[in-house]
Structure 1
Amino acid sequence: MKRSTALFLFLCVTLLGPARALQVTDDRGVSVTFAQSPQRIVSLLPSLTEGVCALEQCQRIVGVDRYSNYPASVRRLPVMGGGLDPNIEGIVALKPDVVLLAVSSRASQRLESLGIKVVALEPKSHADVRRVLSVLGVLLDVPEDVGATRLWRIIDSSVSAAAQSLSPKARNVRVYFEVSRGPYAAGESSFIGETLARLGVKNVVPASLGPFPRLNPEFVVRANPDVIMVGNRSMQALVAYPGWSSIKAVKEQRICVFGVDESDVVVRPGPRMAEAARLMAKCLEDKAR
């Protein structure tokens, strides 16, 4: 090694210091230690992909799951299957420093047995989104004041602004939100239900039924909501269920069917929750009478 090169490396280590080791605890309760902040990341959950990019570290992602499609830049990345059917061989070939995935993913143990570090994070509520962004900030070594804390402050204040934008008539409505055919609904205890509550409207599906219960269509008939929202990512045809013609929202055509891109926004618990709140608020204002 030339003396000039050796001197340069010495100065780099002396002035900048060695790479900082870090540790995070994921949603399995597992502590994962890294010699330095991961530079090659595979993300197998759209909300985590969006979280990394919202923290302005999108360039570190080298592979994604089939549903990660935002921001547009990630659509050019290698697709590694999904949480239930991950392409293990493909993931290994990408030589990631870490794989981000849901707690429910089947890939964790297999990847760890192959020596690949895994961080499992699964936001299911507004509080979870804030916490997950904070964990990602630590993992990515992004300072809180310019990273997760600042990002959450923007999200939270923007949701509040969406609520404040509603007229009184739009706040006093009863809402049914369908997330997929079944019907599967977003209950009060879901992150979607939390957003609706912050907008000041009444969710007709109580928390006691769980976050995303499958309902008997008759339940919705009895609930008789004023507004129906449909965030159906699979975009199955919107066919009325038996008896739904008698529902107030159906009779008065107070139904908002979110398009493909909008559905991605409203059904993902992540950094675009403020945009989701604005979409819901627009629906409420448009349909309020």
Structure 2
Amino acid sequence: MGTLQAAPLTVTDDRGMAVTLPASPQRIVSVLPSLTETVCELGQCHRLVGVDRYSNYPASVRQLPQVGGGIDPNIEAIVALKPDVVLMATSSRGVQRLESLGVKVLAMEPKDSAGAQRVMGKLGELLEVPDAQRIWRAIDAGVSAAAQSLPPAARSLRVYYEVSAGGYAAGTGSFIGEMMARLGVQNIVAPSLGPFPRVNPEYVVRANPDLIMIGSRNVQGLELRPGWRGMRALREQRVCVFTADESDVLVRPGPRMAEAARLMARCITEKGKK
């Protein structure tokens, strides 16, 4: 704050690329909702000049220019905003194209809790916000409190969490799977399948979970899936259907992870009774 001469800043992203900026960026485009939320949680929302169409929290970011989807952003729209840096997922198709146009890109895509913690630290460095880890400590405490609120009986519950359409599930190695473990429930998805595997309907039928967690966007036709009508979770209506807003909280590895833990804990408490 007190220095007149801004010092160059180098931050290494999730590709292992060292990105050097002449100073802490004042014009930021973020095309990944969890990164958008983290910038704002660090008190730097005012530096955002554009976001992807899915960045909708906090409410103030909805007024910003939208530059398409995170995977296939509108490159021209991003360049027109003259950003100092673009924050995007490592899997985004726009990374190389933007870099070829001379735009600085930090590619970060946390898949697990350690990744989310690391990204918060990196964004703290980028934005020159001291003690960015305080956010992580608050998340960690919130998740622990949610876990402690659950009865011991919850530990025997076997849960299937469907993250998105097409049968993509939360695996044990994902931040959602790790949260399920911290809440003490058992994930029916085998660890060997990876963080967000696509599982076929028969896999879930064979596993026969006690409880299903799913978003309202994907719940249509659940009982029409092969063999699902006979599953105990459907017969006994042990299905938690999260609203679109709740799903946004749950599937983003960002500052609202403690809220995500509370949503899961509420589901387990309400629907998980054996």
TM-score range, shorter chain: over 0.9
**Does structure 1 conserve the Cα–Cα contact (< 8 Å) formed by 2:32 and 2:88?**
yes
**Residue 108 (structure 1) shift:** 1.6
SS for the counterpart of 1:16 is: coil
1:237-248 alignment to 2 at 5 Å? 237-240=220-223, 241-248=225-232
Matched-pair identity in %:
67
Q: Secondary structure at the match of 1:89?
A: helix
1:67-125 Cα distance to aligned partner (Å, 9 max, x none): 11111100110000113321111111111100000111111222122221111111110
The residue aligned with 1:169 is 153
Matched, 1:65 2:52: yes
1:268 to partner: Cα distance: 1.1
SS at match of 1:188: coil
Q: Distance in 1 between matches of 2:212 and 2:229?
A: 13
Contact in 1 for aligned 2:32/2:87 (Cα 8 Å): yes
The alignment yields a C-alpha RMSD, in angstroms, of 1.5
Report the equivalent of 1:285: 269
Q: What SS class does the counterpart of residue 222 from structure 2 fall into?
A: coil
Q: Residue 183 of structure 1 aligns to which amino acid in structure 2?
A: G
CA distance in 2, matches of 1:35, 1:176: 47
Give the superposition deviation at 1:172. Answer: 2.3
Q: CA deviation at 1:235?
A: 4.3
Deviating 4+ runs (over 4 angstroms): none
Question: Structure 2: which 5+ residue stretches go unaligned?
Answer: none
1:54-93 residue pairs with structure 2 within 5 A? 54-93=41-80
| Range with bigger deviation, 235-244 or 265-274 | 235-244
Contact 1:162 1:281 in 2 (8 A): yes
Aligned partners of 2:10, 2:169: CA distance in 1, in Å? Answer: 37
Equivalent AA in structure 1 for residue 18 of structure 2: S
**Structure 2: distance between partners of 1:161 and 1:246:** 35
| AA partner of residue 138 (structure 1) | E
What residue number does 2:207 align with? Answer: 223
Unaligned runs of 5+ in 1: 1-11
Amino acid at match of 2:255: P
- Partner Cα separation in structure 2 for residue 202 and residue 254 of structure 1: 15
TM-score (norm 1): 0.90
Between Structure 1 and Structure 2, how many residues are aligned? 272
Structure number, greater radius of gyration: 1
- 1:167 is displaced (CA, Å) by 1.1
Moved more, 67-76 or 171-180: 171-180
| In structure 1, distance between residues paired with 2:231 and 2:267 | 18
Mapping for residues 258-273 of structure 1, pairs under 5 Å: 258-273=242-257
Alignment of 1:1-289 (within 5 A): 16-144=3-131, 148-231=132-215, 234-235=217-218, 237-240=220-223, 241-289=225-273
Are the equivalent residues in 2 in contact too, given 1:23–1:31 (CA < 8 A)? yes
Report the CA distance between 1:236 and its aligned residue.
5.7
Q: Per the alignment, in what secondary structure is the counterpart of residue 206 of structure 2?
A: helix
User: Which SS does the other structure have where 2:106 is aligned?
Assistant: strand
Q: 1:236 to 1:221 in 2, by over 3 A?
A: closer
Give the TM-score normalised by structure 2.
Answer: 0.95
Amino acid at match of 2:166: G
| Shift of residue 159, structure 1, vs aligned partner | 0.5
Give the whole-Å Cα distance in 2 for the aligned partners of 1:238 and 1:36. 52
Farther off after superposition, 83-92 or 202-211: 83-92
CA-to-partner distance for each residue in 1:20-45, whole Å, 9 max, x for gaps?
32110011111111121000000011
